Amino acid sequence: MLGVMSMHEVPQYQYLLWPTVIALRDLGGSGSIEEIVEKVLEQGDYSEEQQSVLHKDGPNTEIEYRLAWARTYLKGMGLANNSQRGVWSLTDEGRSVTESGLEPRRQQYLASLRERRKASSEDASDADGSEPDELTWQERLLDVLMKMSPGAFERLAQRLLREAGFVSATVTGRSGDGGIDGLGVYRMSLVSFPVFFQCKRYVGSVGSGAVRDFRGAMAGRGDKGLLITTGTFTADAKAEATRDGAPPLDLIDGGRLCELLKQYDLGIRTTTRIVEDIEIISDFFDDF
């Protein structure tokens, strides 16, 4: 049986197994890590305080870390799989499992882990203590970004916008500008429009207040904004960014920022390795 969890604590991974299953079902049976995390946070009504707790010294939050654990366990329990591109999908059993059926499967999986550990000569760590093998290059990249000066990070964002198709991108660098760090012009076919951007080199979660402040700084100057952070955005921040009756803002969190830097080869070199699987077709030699 699962223990009692305080409403003010970050849920342990076992409490996130069922929310992850439900999130994947609501996403049509599959989803990216970002989609799954957003859906779980949206449906779970977790407080901004819970979402802001860092895992160790960051850059990931504790709830993201434990959601990674939940996905890892669902895979081990035979309820989910993931592709090389980080897309997770439910198996047939995952699509039909009930909430009450999760804990027996988890205990069965833990028992199998203990048996494998017992049979192995390696000094493996406890099943609840090892690190999930996920997002390692993103974590290393975010550590590098956090060591940049604020000005250097703004210039990196400026370069990224240019690579992404902005015809111009300027870092304002002015104090008292309400948090606006720069202005870019994005051209789409025959039209172009200004986009204000703000950069937050941050290890935690950006809340709804920062989104409102940024929108307020844009008031009367434009209605397109881009908020870039090395951290994450709380569910309330995401809701505020798309609130009805207010100019919508686009949000780029640390995970998305890493993917964009990889896409445009900015500080990242991707090497493709080819692995051969060799199979011997014995029947072929019978004809000689």
Q: What would the pLDDT profile of 17-47 be if each residue is shown by its tens digit?
A: 999 999 999 999 999 888 899 899 989 888 8
Instruction: Give the domain 141-263 fold.
Output: Trna Endonuclease; Chain: A, domain 1 (3.40.1350)
CA distances from 170 to 140, 154, 200, 261 (A): 28, 10, 17, 19
Least confident range of 45-49, 154-158, 180-184, 248-252: 45-49
Q: What would the pLDDT profile of 51-79 be if each residue is shown by its tens digit?
A: 888 887 777 788 988 999 999 999 999 99
Q: Is the pLDDT of residue 278 over 90?
A: no
pTM assigned to the model = 0.64
Name the average pLDDT for the chain: 84
Q: Which CATH architecture has domain 13-119?
A: Orthogonal Bundle (1.10)
Q: What is the pLDDT of residue 120?
A: 67
Q: Is the pLDDT of residue 93 over 80?
A: yes
Sequence-distant (6+) residues with CB within 8 A of 87 are: 30, 31, 32
- Domain spans of the chain, in order of start: 13-119, 141-263
Exposure string for 219-243, b = 16+ CB within 10 A, e = fewer: eeeebbbbbbbbbbbbbbbbebbee
Nearest to 151 by CA among 172, 130, 137: 172
